[in-house]
Chains A and B, each alone.
Chain A
Amino acid sequence: MIGNTDAVRLLDSKREDSVLVATMNANNVGFGLPSITTKEPLDFPISGAMGKASSVGLGLALAQPNRKIMVLDGDGSLLMNLGTLVTLSNKAPKNMYHFLFDNGVYAVTGGQPVPGAGKVDWEDMAKGAGYAAVFSFDNLEDLTTGIDQVLATQGPVFIHLAITPEVENTPVAFRPRASRSVQTAFRELPVALSSD
């Protein structure tokens, strides 16, 4: 399995001018993208509409065809919006890289297993939906070696990552808040994207 932070750090290190659309543990304030980002102005944290990170990413990919869009999704989140696999493959943005952080649980809410954990074949799901290419990694070494090939492949690409669950039990009201919110990204990204 791959550590949540290790996966995010590796993707961030390969981002160049990509926008990272991140949600749930991939976007955890303490051990996700906000804690390690090297290009915060191009981070698009998605909170407040569970399951919709890939939909936002699709819109962004269609609007900015010359820039890679990397979506860092949760498994519970994707299960909540499964049709997105088909909506996305139907529009087939070549610049879309959809990473699934499959930790088998709803980590943010205490680690309850998601329906079908260990049973659902995510590679088959994405292939069946019609993604142009599908990859799967279950250890950091392979991901580190394979990531360049992944990002050189024409999208839409789906990348299944087997991630170690990291469960937070601190009551939500006491968890640290991200300095960059979805509202900040909404205000600042249009300017950042039009000016560079």
Chain B
Amino acid sequence: MTTQETVLHPAAIIEELKKNEFTHVVWLPDSETNFMYQLLTNEPSLDLVPVCREGETMAIAAGLWVGGKKPVVLIQNTGIFESGDSIRGLGLDVNQPLVMLVGYRGWSRHGITPDSAARFIEHILHAWGISYYLIETDDDAGRITSALEEAERTSKPVAVLVGTEFGA
């Protein structure tokens, strides 16, 4: 594998979002998606909706979806912990086909995971019956498409864990 393939570039994610014709990115920044901001603000086909707290994202996405748009949520795993009642009440209970890109803070791949944000996140998703995909390199970006297909097929929120901080 070349170094190129082992790095995740924000452009790879944005390309995938464009390919799937997402219209809005509802988000609160995290270090995993650090370099994405500039690219997102320069991308005319994606409208950025910044929030103050992550629990807003699923609710805003719900309104966008009902209004005929195609939103994607972009937050950190800590934000998933913060958003429990929104995911339950305005995601799962109403069958919202929502893709949530989630920064996997603390994911180490080594079996030693000191950060509880990483230790708990998959268990929480399992508890809710939310499927998830993992993205670590540019080659994995296509999993966003798989997640969207699953979200639409099952009418449920699906998570995509972003397991690397982006390269610049």
A residues bordering B, Cβ < 8 Å? 21, 44, 47-52, 55-64, 81, 83-84, 86-87, 90-91, 182-183, 185-186, 189-190, 193-194
Contacts and interface: CB of A to CB of B under 8 A. Distances in A.
Contacts of A49: 59, 85-86, 88-90
Contacts of A56: 59-60, 62-63, 66, 90
Contacts of B65: 59, 63, 190
Contact of B55 (A52, A61, A189): A52
Nearest to B56: A55
Nearest to B71: A59
Given A44-B66, A59-B63, A193-B67, A182 B56 contact: no
Interface size class of B (residues with CB under 8 A): 20 to 34
A52 B89 CA distance: 10
A57 B53 contact: no
B127 to A, nearest CB: 18
A194 to B, nearest CB: 6
B53 A62 contact: no
B69 interface: yes
- Nearest 4 A-B pairs (CB), nearest first? A59-B63, A63-B67, A83-B52, A49-B89
A36 to B, nearest CB: 23
A84 B52 CA distance: 7
Which among A63, A84, A186 has the highest number of chain B CB atoms within 10 Å? A63
A59 B53 contact: no
Given A62-B49, A183-B93, A186-B94, A52 B68 contact: no
A191 B66 CA distance: 9
Given A52-B89, A182-B93, A186-B95, A83 B64 contact: no
A52 B56 contact: yes
A114 to B, nearest CB: 18
Given A48-B88, A86-B52, A91-B49, A58 B95 contact: no
Given A55-B56, A87-B56, A63 B94 contact: no
A1 to B, nearest CB: 29
Interface string B41-53: 0000001011111
Contacts of B56: 52, 55, 81, 83-84, 87
Contacts of A50: 85
B67 A186 contact: no
A193 to B, nearest CB: 6
Contacts of B50: 87, 90
27 contacts: A44-B66, A48-B89, A49-B86, A51-B55, A52-B56, A52-B86, A55-B56, A55-B59, A55-B63, A58-B63, A59-B63, A59-B69, A60-B63, A60-B64, A61-B63, A62-B49, A62-B64, A63-B64, A63-B66, A63-B68, A64-B68, A81-B56, A83-B51, A86-B52, A185-B66, A186-B95, A193-B67
